[in-house]
Amino acid sequence: MNRRDFLKSAATGIAAIALPLAAFEFVRPSELFATKDNLAIRWVFLVDTYKCVGCGLCVKACKNENEVPYDANVTRTWVERYVITRDGRRFADTPKGARDGFTTSRIELGGDKFQEIRNEEIEKAFFVPKLCNQCENPPCVQVCPVGATYQAPDGVVLVDRSWCIGCGYCIMGCPYGVRFFHPVHHVAEKCNFCYHRITRGLKPACVLACPFGARDIGNIKDPADPVTRIIMTERVGILKEEYGTKPQVFYIGLDREVK
């Protein structure tokens, strides 16, 4: 067999194999998953900032539940304190993500510096819990080069620890700063609404830990869900709307000072 014949028959052979293969339809796993269960779930979160007192029990519970090292200066959820004084100065801090609660009226300024504010100086002050917004249009999923972070059909954004390469692009892409590198696993890490719990019908750890009911989770596709009722009927806000990420954590009593 000469070269020309070999190439000819090789081409014919490949074509003959390729033709029956074309009859198969390629189905994406996510498509299959969607048709199989036909999920009527879209997880959303509701935070009532009027109820938050900055005790930090949610942060503690989260760290324990999700095995984020307790002393590491990273956290899946945190609470911010905002203080506006009578003379118009604005302060915000979140010492250790408020893991131990706000036990002093001093404002942390970073680099071991603090600002003392007397009570009578304060015009307005409040707490804002933060967590992953499980965006409808998540930039972190868009920028992951290997597809290690992805959005589940119920809307929650998850990270595959066995596939993440640790490039940090998702951390850079998130406008809310909810992502970080896990100090033990050395891959991207974030809040996932306690996915292991909510998929079993349980509430997330932070929701259960909050003594004042400032946090709750719900299914926006279920009109009877109390969280859905509030989002639909009351005035709620979202964070950093201008980025077009369509965040799914809704806030009651959001202030314009909230960063």
Partner 1 sequence: MMVHGEIWTAKELFVYPNEYIYWSIQIVMYPFMTGLVAGAFVLSSLYHVFGIKQLRNMARFALVFSFALLFAAPLPLMFHLLKPLRGMHVFMTPHFTSAIAAFGIVFSTYGAIVASELWFLYRKHFVDIAKPLKEKKNKTLAEWSKFIVFCSLTLGVYDVSEEALRKDEKAIKILAGAGIPVACFLHGYAGFIFGSVKANALWMTPLMPVIFIMSAIVSGIALCMLTYILTMEARKLLSKNRRRPSPVHRSHDEIRSVQINEISMTARYLLFFLIFAISLELLDLIFRGYTAVKSWDVLRSVIYGKDFTSIFLLQYGLGNLLPLILFLAPGLTIRRAVVGVLLVLFGVFMMRWNVVIGGQAFSLSFAGYMHYHLPIIPHDFETFKEGLFGAAVIFVMPFVLFYFIARIFPVFDLKETH
Q: Which residues make up the interface to partner 1 (CB under 8 A)?
A: 69, 71-75, 78, 90-94, 96-97, 109-111, 130, 139, 141-148, 163-169, 171-181, 183, 186-187, 242-244, 259
Cβ of 20: how many Cβ atoms within 10 Å? Answer: 8
Sign of torsion, CA 126 217 155 236? negative
Minimum distance between the CB of residue 15 and partner 1, rounded to whole angstroms? Answer: 26
Nearer to partner 1, 149 or 219 (CB): 149
Residue 72 tokens read as 């590491």
Minimum distance between the CB of residue 257 and partner 1, rounded to whole angstroms? Answer: 9
Nearer to partner 1, 41 or 187 (CB): 187
Nearer to partner 1, 171 or 227 (CB): 171
Minimum distance between the CB of residue 104 and partner 1, rounded to whole angstroms? Answer: 17
Minimum distance between the CB of residue 214 and partner 1, rounded to whole angstroms? Answer: 18
Nearer to partner 1, 65 or 93 (CB): 93
Q: Is residue 208 left, alpha or beta, with left meaning phi > 0 and alpha meaning psi from -120 to 50?
A: alpha
Minimum distance between the CB of residue 69 and partner 1, rounded to whole angstroms? Answer: 5
Report the distance separating Cα 33 and Cα 200, nearest Å: 18
Nearer to partner 1, 213 or 244 (CB): 244
Listed in order, strand segments (DSSP E) in the chain are 43-48, 78-85, 90-93, 107-110, 113-115, 122-130, 149-151, 157-159, 180-181, 188-189, 215-219, 249-252
Q: How many residues in the chain?
A: 259
Cβ atoms 159, 179 nearer than 8 A: no
